[in-house]
A and B are shown apart, each in its own frame.
Chain A
Amino acid sequence: MTATATAERHCVGSVEEFEENRFRVFEIAGRPIGVVRRGEEFFAVRNRCPHQGAEICGGRVSGTMLASSPGEYRYSDAEPVLACPWHRWEFRLADGGSVGDVTGKRLVTYEVEVEDREVYVKLRAGRAR
């Protein structure tokens, strides 16, 4: 049995209903899940910061600063991040990993599919809440 075969798919609206860089939060199978649009890309994450449980989808969605020489900034949009509104810890939208490895904790992420201009969040079967 593959994950894909057992994943539940939940429609959260049409592409046009999503504003750039602004999360919409849904309750899907009892879980608070935020979905955000970056151009034609969509990301979905659990609306809970792994640090102290803040509703992280209220945070800033943007690129971030790459490791650089002292006094220089190198901003990159290549891997968009979500910064928690409480303590500004940043997590990559793509895989939930901590930017800069400031923590070993990860933000829970979900796969998103767009089909016929409709946006679907896929939940992995059997995954703990």
Chain B
Amino acid sequence: MSGVFDAELHPLITSRAGLLEYVSDPSWRQRLSDGEFALPQASPHPGAELEGGAVDPSAADPAAVAAALGSDVEAALLVPAQAMATAGWLSHTMAAVFCSAVNDLLIAEWLPAEPRFRLAIAVAPHDGFAAAEEIERVGRQPAVAAVCMPLIAVNMGQRHYHPIYAAAERLGLPVVVHPGGFEGAVIGPAALGGIGPRTPEESFTLLPQVATANVASLIYDGAFQQFPGLRVVFAGFGFSWAPPVLWRADSEWRGLRVEVPWLTKPPSEYVGDHIRFLVDAACELRPEAWRVAAMLPETSLIYGSDLPFGDGDAERALAGAPAGLRERIAAGNARETFAAAVGAAEAGR
């Protein structure tokens, strides 16, 4: 397959000592060294600690990951999944410290290993101002193409996130959101409907609820009016649920426009302009899903391998995609989505 933009490749960090070298504040380095701080598990999904085989350790070796990239891959966006676990952490400062260290490690050790690597810098969503400072601190590096964060129990349209959106918009970086594995826990991360202990399978099944709630919040709270350059990528939430949600949103808007007069066009058009859904190994990839794909705006879907949790075979993953959409999903939509990064422009890429 020619021209694949892999918008979701998870770099793995397995050495605690190696990471702590990148904790710049000596006091925090000391605290994290003294305590029982452990690196988050590789997979940011509920119940992953009980799932089968361990992740291939080569996923922590940038040279090995680079060597394994298919020749058809023109770019691979590193999305540090372990930083998504911070959504469930007690200390918001520690979450921010951890994300900064992850960013510095990836910039120092991964980006030089492969010119096709791009980076989604991690931020902790609890403190919008701290996250914005982090975006300013590392977001202008040439290979930085996005910001990534997990979701907490504040919907994405709320002012809480405005500092993050303002910084991301200023630097031309889309905001990639990805599950952190704590969705549905009672306090802290993004909520799932109903309260009660769940099996991992139930939580995973319900993950689209988180994306649905946040798509609706971004639209109705007017985030795209306030940040016209904002683009949001939902990674790891699937897409097959989206068309009926947009149908309903458009239908409700016709009658309830007076409640949200800042919307001057149907909600689905804002989604087409600003929101992307990742097609990855966690998706509902069955023949029927591709019929659903054709019901979304043609700009909506971008491919991600979900390596090391998938096989990275884009050709196989997209085999059933409608002919007219395949190139867009494989690379075209991602090229357009990630092209505006200020760092990239300054580097002349």
From B223, B226, B261, A65 is in contact (CB under 8 Å) with B261
Inter-chain CA distance A74–B262, complex, in Å, is: 10
Residues of A within 8 A of B261 (CB): 65-68, 73-74, 100
Inter-chain CA distance A99–B258, complex, in Å, is: 9
Interface: A109 (CB within 8 A): no
Which residue, of A71, A72, A100, has the highest number of chain B Cβ atoms within 10 A? A100
**Chain B 249-272 against A: per-residue CB contact (8 Å), 1 yes, 0 no?**
000011111100110111000000
Residues of B within 8 A of A64 (CB): 258
Residues of B within 8 A of A53 (CB): none
A100 touches B264 (CB 8 A): yes
* A6-49 with Cβ < 8 A to chain B: none
Inter-chain CA distance A46–B242, complex, in Å, is: 37
Query: Nearest residue in B to A81 (C-beta to C-beta)?
Result: B258
A102 touches B253 (CB 8 A): yes
Residues of A within 8 A of B255 (CB): 87-89, 102
A69 touches B253 (CB 8 A): no
- Given A69-B225, A70-B225: A89 in contact with B262 (beta carbons within 8 A): no
Residues of B within 8 A of A71 (CB): 221-222, 262
Query: Nearest residue in A to B265 (C-beta to C-beta)?
Result: A101
From A66, A67, A72, A89, B254 is in contact (CB under 8 Å) with A89
Residues of B within 8 A of A102 (CB): 253-255, 257, 266
Query: Nearest residue in A to B221 (C-beta to C-beta)?
Result: A70
Residues of B within 8 A of A66 (CB): 261
- Given A67-B262, A67-B264, A72-B262: A90 in contact with B225 (beta carbons within 8 A): no
From A69, A70, A72, A99, B257 is in contact (CB under 8 Å) with A99
Residues of B within 8 A of A4 (CB): none
Please give the residue numbers on chain A whose beta carbons come within 8 Å of chain B beta carbons, in ascending order: 64-74, 87-90, 99-103
Closest 5 CB pairs of A and B: A70-B222, A65-B261, A102-B254, A88-B255, A87-B255
Q: List 13 A-B contacts (CB under 8 A).
A: A65-B257, A67-B261, A70-B221, A70-B223, A70-B226, A71-B221, A88-B258, A90-B258, A99-B257, A100-B257, A102-B253, A102-B255, A103-B254
